[in-house]
Structure 1
Amino acid sequence: MNSVADLNFIKALKGKYCNSLNTYSRFVTREVNIGDIAMGAHHPIRIQSMTTTDTMDTLATVEQTIRMVDAGCEYVRITAPSIKEAQNLAEIKKELRNRGYNVPLIADIHFTPNAAELAARIVEKVRVNPGNYIDKKKFQQIDYTDSEYLQEVERIRQRFSPLVKICKEYGTAMRIGTNHGSLSDRIMSRYGDTPMGMVESAMEFIRICSDLDYHNLVISMKASNPKVMVQAYRMLVEKMVAEGMNYPLHLGVTEAGDGEDGRIKSAVGIGTLLEDGLGDTIRVSLTEEPEFEAPVASALAKRYEMRAKKLEMVAEEAIYQPEIILPNNFDPYSYQRRKTHEVLNVGGHNVPRVIVDLSKENIKDPFALSSIGYNYSALLDKYNLTEQTADFVFLGDALPSFSFPGNLKQIYNYGTWLNLEDKQNAHPLFNAEEYLKAENKDNWLNFVETDIKIFLESSDEVYNGFVDTLSKDKTVVLILSTQNIHGMAEQRQFIFDLLTQQLDVPVIIKRSYNKINDDDFMLYASTDIGALLTDGLTDGLWLQADGIATQTINSVAFGILQATRTRISKTEYISCPSCGRTLFDLQETTQLIRSRTDHLKGIKIGIMGCIVNGPGEMADADYGYVGTGPGVITLYKEKEVVKRNVPAENAVDELIDLIKEHGDWVEPAV
């Protein structure tokens, strides 16, 4: 990574734009007015969502919009795929105003400039997708000379400028929203399917707006893969800073899915960026009713409002703040897992490991292990392992009253471990001082936990001795915990320090949560751990949460690994949140497909409501199910159409037949 990129990435996270990697503050963007609700600058993070009704059904759209506003939406987006829908936005707006709702409306435009130009005279904001708005998307590779490429950009300028001038005249805001799955053939031919391609796709449109002195802009870089999304937003900020721009950022993970999976995936992508102080408005895309999206987005945003207030009350010296040095071997714009040496089955090329705390559980019989993926059969006197089976259990000082399965490794506090008669599959947990003084250690694997603040406040003897130990003892796995309000950034900086010192000790991130409900635990853990996994900085995770069921903790841990694509344990569904373009019951169909395919570990299935987001957004999927007409489905294998015009009543069976034809089907376990 070049020095300019280094400089601008740090600028985007500290200095002029943020205080540091270790205290939370937002990247300061320019203020953009959207109706009566401004975003950016020092305004709160705004919440928005999108209707799923037919835009031509005025009453249904109005009533759904009201439910969304009552659930916490500050902006509401409505699809306008053609002139007639754009015209009907006026009726929708009129009826909302008659009912006392002044919520700013956003018209969602993909292929039709004429509809966008009409909508810009009616609503408070229009969204255009650079990949679809003027450019074409037919999955064609085209070789452009530099001259030909510039001619295409000039063609875009001529066709896009009228919309910019209308927005400027009417005071209408605009979102330039790039989607990873809908990059144009022109961009794909020059930049490939990359974050850089996403950024350049948007920057072409942004530069046109800037040249026309129009700055009422919001920018987004959405992808169904949180890693790609995070890299693209970071690269966008670096690019904007280099060109003297600071437009507000709209955050969202596209086609995240539903239920726990959709929430975890959204939190990983959105939360990682919020942790870095990036983001001015949030849309959580779930394959559920849109009023269920706003509370999730609100919970994510509220955490950072609370954090900013808490940090004002914390003394500066109470927070670990070393000089911020980005390691030369870390690139924020591409994924590369930190290289560590292997200790037993931790680190090296092993998948990230999961530790679950059973120290407070009343373990009386083998069935107690079902919450962590070990299903015991009394009839056969054996365990069946699921794909979401924890790798280690922490027992502290508790001793189980039955024999654990042979592949389940246990962790005990050092003093208890010392007195075990049978140490097979049992490993000790030390604090740093204990480890330095201990005469008896495990020959294979020693966990050493250190809280960053306590560690840094320890004596020079302990600190220097421990650092020296990490460089020599190849049996140590570091458990890194934190008490910092901005804990993810503190843990990240500690790992940056390990990278700088070229210490390849494996690190497992531990996070503990108190006084928290299930929903917030899921979102917070996905953010805190997901951010580090997204950057390849950890070899495992250990979640603790008072009052949260062990089964939930274990499920969330594996869900985070799945969302970051660092450990695949189940089928992944890339399903859109539905909108007025949707051609079938997306929620019902998604659940039907899930019920018949959720045993296919590692397979990615795209379920798309219409052709607009279909081929593009599910380009990362192995198989695709796309609505292409009333009651008609098109099936894809990756990006290729395999079967067209399949009747909807037969389409799920046809999808399964397609999976079987390509050898990816296995029969579900009985």
Structure 2
Amino acid sequence: LIHQQLREKGYSTPLSADIHFNPRAAHVAATVAEKVRINPGNFVDKQKTFAVVEYTDEEYVQELEKIRSKVVPFLQVCKEHGTAVRIGVNHGSLSDRIMTRFGDTPEGMVESCMEYLRIALDEGFTDIVISMKASNTLLMTKAVRLLVDRMDKENIHFPLHLGVTEAGDGEDGRMKSAVGIGALLSDGLGDTVRVSLSEDPEAEVPVARKIVDYVAKREGHKPILGELYPGFSPFSTDKRETRAVRNIGGGFVPVVISDRNAIADMSINPHFIPDYIYVGDNVPGNFPKGMKSIVDFPNWEDRIDNFPMFTAGNISDIKECQAAVKFLQLSYPQLTDEVLSVLKNTEKLVVILQTSHVNGVGEQRAFFHKLLNGHCDIPVVLQRSYSEDVAEDIQVKGGIDFGTVLLDGFGNGIMISNTG
């Protein structure tokens, strides 16, 4: 009825039906809608009860045959009506069968999808789109990367639909979506996207558009020369191991450095207190008491909670400086073998990793891989500068820029400035 009324009113946008728990409903929807989304976690398998049921290999094969007996008739209806199918795996609804064998893991999500893909290919059905969604951006990105790797190995190639489930609303929803979707788009993965906000539906498309447009602007740049670290895995959740410099690196949570270099206002929101404040040339008279300051080395004074910021231009002064923590602003092009030697052999040093490259994510990734190849465990703080007047714009851009690199396991803190 909905489809009929839309067409009578002159709307031609394809209609997609999202079906759970009911193969019969999927059959009906396939005769009307242009696409039907089915969830492998509940299309045939029973609703999750979190029961641990051990299957023998023979019993597991029997369960797969049950799935085949329900999926094949559905695919036949789709063939007859020219209906596409989205195999939409959701981390929160993996079946007890998958959970028992593979656990609550990206591997479980991948196998849940591959079971249905293999059945479809056996039946010669290829009008398929795939999605792998989770509310945890780390798990979602690893699952999609693992799925693509598995499909490549089996010579299977289908479009990917990207999204983060239950992203939330406001700042949280926008940043979670930007992190998860943006990281995969940065990898060159993804054909369609959906931003899911706990807001009115019309708020979702503008955010999705901003995510896609921001990543697309990187296209066409000259290659960033670098060498991938052989031990790096895009499927791993391991973080790069670093030495600790005070509360940065080691086993400490990432720090936050507030960049007030170009801002006269030194007030601090009590709900968002940074670990350090970078002030540039001098500590102003209105600097908050009890806060740790970072000052450009030429104007640095050796006193409690005041630390110097070096650049590539005065890197030779680092060795003689006796500060408890020393910061060094660097970009990837400045990471020569000589500079790498300084990073490896200087204690109490932290890198502030800058980038002005159109593909800053790619350049910062290259920096970390050079550190790994050079066996350098120095802690690194990711730095980005923006000039945005709209809060949503910096949420999206910052989410993509910082989130993508942090999801790789790189970065011991963030330093952000906005002059908008």
TM-score bracket, normalised by the shorter chain, equals over 0.9
2:16 counterpart (106, 109, 112)? 106
How far residue 517 of structure 1 moved from its aligned partner, in angstroms, is: 3.0
How far residue 440 of structure 1 moved from its aligned partner, in angstroms, is: 4.3
The residue number in structure 2 matching 1:397 is 281
The residue number in structure 2 matching 1:502 is 375
Query: Secondary structure of the residue that 2:218 maps to in structure 1?
Result: helix
The residue number in structure 2 matching 1:518 is 391
The residue number in structure 2 matching 1:327 is 230
C-alpha change, 1:283 and 1:345, in structure 2 (3 Å) is: same
How far residue 98 of structure 1 moved from its aligned partner, in angstroms, is: 2.3
The residue number in structure 2 matching 1:117 is 27
How far residue 403 of structure 1 moved from its aligned partner, in angstroms, is: 5.6
Query: Secondary structure of the residue that 2:195 maps to in structure 1?
Result: coil
Percent of paired sites with the same residue = 45
Residue 423 (1) aligns with residue 327 (2)? no
CA distance in 1, matches of 2:297, 2:378: 20
How far residue 465 of structure 1 moved from its aligned partner, in angstroms, is: 2.6
CA distance in 1, matches of 2:398, 2:58: 49
How far residue 305 of structure 1 moved from its aligned partner, in angstroms, is: 3.1
Counterpart amino acid of residue 325 in structure 2: L
CA distance in 2, matches of 1:326, 1:198: 27
The residue number in structure 2 matching 1:433 is 313
Structure 1 residues 465-614: aligned runs within 5 Å: 465-514=338-387, 517-547=390-420
The residue number in structure 1 matching 2:40 is 130
Structure 1 residues 439-458: aligned runs within 5 Å: 440-453=320-333, 455=334
- Mapped contact 1:444–1:475 kept (Cα < 8 A): yes
So what's the TM-score if we normalise by structure 1?
A: 0.61
How far residue 426 of structure 1 moved from its aligned partner, in angstroms, is: 0.8
Query: Secondary structure of the residue that 2:143 maps to in structure 1?
Result: helix
CA distance in 2, matches of 1:244, 1:508: 39
Gaps of 5+ in 2: none
Counterpart amino acid of residue 202 in structure 1: C
Counterpart amino acid of residue 175 in structure 2: I
- Mapped contact 2:242–2:377 kept (Cα < 8 A): yes
The residue number in structure 1 matching 2:6 is 96
- Mapped contact 1:341–1:347 kept (Cα < 8 A): yes
How far residue 283 of structure 1 moved from its aligned partner, in angstroms, is: 0.8
Structure 1 residues 315-354: aligned runs within 5 Å: 316=222, 319-323=223-227, 325-328=228-231, 330-354=232-256
Which piece of structure 1 moves more, 299-308 or 388-397?
299-308
Residue 276 (1) aligns with residue 187 (2)? yes
Query: Secondary structure of the residue that 1:153 maps to in structure 2?
Result: helix
Q: How big is the alpha-carbon RMSD for the aligned residues of Structure 1 and Structure 2?
A: 1.5
CA distance in 1, matches of 2:168, 2:387: 28
The residue number in structure 1 matching 2:153 is 242
Counterpart amino acid of residue 130 in structure 1: P
Q: Deviations over 1:9-64 (max 9, x none)?
A: xxxxxxxxxxxxxxxxxxxxxxxxxxxxxxxxxxxxxxxxxxxxxxxxxxxxxxxx
Q: Deviations over 1:341-393 (max 9, x none)?
A: 01111111111010111122224xxxx4224x3xxxxxxxxxxxx4x310010
CA distance in 2, matches of 1:508, 1:285: 30
CA distance in 2, matches of 1:195, 1:320: 30
Counterpart amino acid of residue 307 in structure 2: H
The residue number in structure 2 matching 1:214 is 125
Residue 370 (1) aligns with residue 370 (2)? no
How far residue 442 of structure 1 moved from its aligned partner, in angstroms, is: 3.6
1:202 counterpart (98, 109, 113)? 113
Query: Secondary structure of the residue that 2:164 maps to in structure 1?
Result: coil
CA distance in 1, matches of 2:322, 2:287: 21
Q: Deviations over 1:240-266 (max 9, x none)?
A: 000101111111111111111111111
How far residue 438 of structure 1 moved from its aligned partner, in angstroms, is: 5.1
CA distance in 2, matches of 1:258, 1:124: 30
Counterpart amino acid of residue 499 in structure 1: L
Structure 1 residues 21-420: aligned runs within 5 Å: 91-136=1-46, 137-308=48-219, 311=220, 314=221, 316=222, 319-323=223-227, 325-328=228-231, 330-363=232-265, 368-371=266-269, 373=270, 386=271, 388-402=272-286, 404-406=288-290, 408-417=291-300, 420=301
Gaps of 5+ in 1: 1-90, 374-385, 457-462, 548-670
How far residue 326 of structure 1 moved from its aligned partner, in angstroms, is: 3.5
CA distance in 2, matches of 1:450, 1:283: 36
